[in-house]
Amino acid sequence: MRKSGRSLRWALVKAAVAGTTMVALAFLIPLGLMVQQTARDRAFTAAERQAAALGPALAITTDQDAINRALASTDAGGQGRMAVHLPAAQAVPPASADQAVLPGVDGPGGPTLGEARAAAGDVSTAGGQGRSFTVEVPGGYALLQPVAVDTGRTAVVEVFVADGDLTRGVSTAWLVLSAVALGLVAISVLVADRMGSRIVASARRLAAAARSLGAGNLAVRVPADGKQAAGSPEELREAAHAFNTMADRVVQLLAAERELAADLSHRLRTPLTVLRLNAASLGEGDAADATRHAVSQLEREVDQIIRSARRAPEDAPAVAVGCDVAEVIRERVGFWSALAEDEGRRWQLAGADRATPVPIQRADLAAAVDALLGNVFRHTAVGTAFSVDVLATDSSVIVLVGDAGPGFSDPAAALKRGEGHGGEGSTGLGLDIARKLAESTGGDLALGRSAVLGGAEIRLRLQTRPDGAPARAGRRRSRGTLFQK
């Protein structure tokens, strides 16, 4: 669940990063482009101001020394980025009226003051058209600004704008905008992680409660309201309410089931009392003593069922897990031997002379063995022999229960709950009880034919350790017969 929780939080973080990044790019890229255009416009505007600063001087005089002094007084001129293209000198007026009048020169054709970068043709075009424009020159752009000095003459002021001036401050602006974007992403990640941690915490509480309920803790509930549930999504709070409702319903169903089991078991006391009275009147003898012993044990089992059914699960005493298979089988075979002798059945027990511990409760194993032996008595004719063999291996204990009866007509169907061994009135619960016990340890239950007696054989395999655990020195199956008649 921790890995799943991290995955959920990481998914929320990725979603927040993706969303915030798209929003940041949608706003910051246009802002960056606008800053870049603003820097370009600012550079050309500054160049126009520098060119306009020479306008008054050129309107007063075209003396080169005066223009040089005015040029040096400007920032661009002091940095060698400005030039003035003066017009050609005005023609001298004629001495008499008979002399021809020479027309003036429109564009600049005179000397150039400062460091010029624009081509002569571009300068002439600017002076001739009387409008300013920019031309690309090596290292940047040149602004050509025409200035009228007198009637019919135009000077051109050239201001050089370097490429660096067009992008001045743009890199800083991009860095600031990028930092803002990263800050927004970081804040969104932090918020998403906090929200994700609350969602994950709620999901983990729900999963832990489900595991606890599955482990048998019927009192576990998930906080669906209050401080612990604060910040949880509405869907998770609804899931918590549904879980609590389910847990309450499970408790009610189990209580009803316990009452039903107790009532059914209590109804057995009346016929059991009759059996006990009849057994008391049998007189003396081994068969009578065995019958009375069986009735007494049956009465104790019924009482135990009633007490267990009426006891709440949380009040059940702790039972040590683990028992000795050999000891349990000797006890149960000894119990069934009285009935076997009464019916004239030959029986034998082999391999139960050495301790064979298994990780299951004694009562569960005894119930499974009784179910297997009870099948023999219910589904074979009186006088049919049976045998019980115990085989201990490195990782498991195998219990073989065989008989000399007709065997299983359909072993696959017999293993299904409700099918049984094949006789009338069978519920199939005996084999199902044994199968579930074996599977709880990692083992299994198999049906086949007995190689010794020729009838049915049930193999109950109980795992004593996991398959990957180190092997211990195995024990061979003992062939000694403890009981036989």
In this structure, the number of other CB atoms found within 10 A of the CB of residue 169 comes to 13
Do 411 and 298 share a structural domain? Answer: no
Q: What is the mean pLDDT of residues 307-327?
A: 66
Order of strands, sheet of 82-85, starting from the edge strand that comes earlier in the sequence: 112-114, 82-85, 153-162, 140-150, 133-137
Look at the alpha carbons of 464, 466, 467, 472 in this order and tell me if their dihedral is positive or negative: negative
Q: Which two tokens stand for residue 480?
A: 């000694």
The percentage of residues in the chain with a pLDDT greater than 70, rounded to a whole number, is 80
Selection from 380, 316, 30, 298 nearest residue 173 by Cα: 30
Residue 259 has pLDDT above 70, yes or no: yes
Look at the alpha carbons of 168, 171, 174, 178 in this order and tell me if their dihedral is positive or negative: negative
Q: Do the Cβ atoms of 428 and 417 come closer than 8 Å?
A: yes
Do 412 and 333 share a structural domain? Answer: yes
SS3 400: strand
How many domains in the chain? 2
Query: What are the pLDDT digits (tens) for 323-365?
Result: 899 999 999 898 888 888 888 889 999 988 888 888 888 888 8
Q: Determine, yes or no, domain membership for 415.
A: yes
Do 478 and 339 share a structural domain? Answer: yes
Residue 476 has pLDDT above 50, yes or no: no
Q: Determine, yes or no, domain membership for 26.
A: no
Q: Determine, yes or no, domain membership for 383.
A: yes
Query: Does residue 84 come out as left (phi exceeding 0), alpha (psi in the -120 to 50 range) or beta?
Result: beta
Residue 428 has pLDDT above 70, yes or no: no
Q: Determine, yes or no, domain membership for 157.
A: no
Q: What is the mean pLDDT of residues 258-265?
A: 72
Mean pLDDT, the chain, integer: 77
Full residue range of the structural domain in which residue 441 is found: 323-484
Q: Determine, yes or no, domain membership for 165.
A: no
| CA gap 65, 60 in Å, rounded | 13
Do 452 and 410 share a structural domain? Answer: yes
Do 330 and 444 share a structural domain? Answer: yes
Q: Determine, yes or no, domain membership for 399.
A: yes
Do 463 and 341 share a structural domain? Answer: yes
| CA gap 414, 226 in Å, rounded | 54
Q: Determine, yes or no, domain membership for 405.
A: yes
Do 394 and 274 share a structural domain? Answer: no
Task: Note if the pTM is more than 0.85.
Answer: no
The residue with greater pLDDT, 32 or 391, is: 391
The DSSP-derived string for 411-475 is HHHHTSTTT-SSSTT--SHHHHHHHHHHHHTT-EEEEEE-TTTSSEEEEEEEESS-TTSPP----
Q: How confident is the model at residue 483 (pLDDT cuts 50, 70, 90)?
A: very low
Do 304 and 388 share a structural domain? Answer: no
Q: What is the mean pLDDT of residues 134-138?
A: 88
CATH of the domain at 332: 3.30.565.10
Do 309 and 331 share a structural domain? Answer: no
Q: How confident is the model at residue 427 (pLDDT cuts 50, 70, 90)?
A: very low
Q: Phi and psi for 349 in degrees, rounded to 5?
A: -125, 130
| CA gap 406, 403 in Å, rounded | 9
Residue 237 has pLDDT above 60, yes or no: yes
In this structure, the number of other CB atoms found within 10 A of the CB of residue 472 comes to 10
Do 435 and 342 share a structural domain? Answer: yes
Do 373 and 299 share a structural domain? Answer: no
Q: Determine, yes or no, domain membership for 363.
A: yes
Do 449 and 328 share a structural domain? Answer: yes
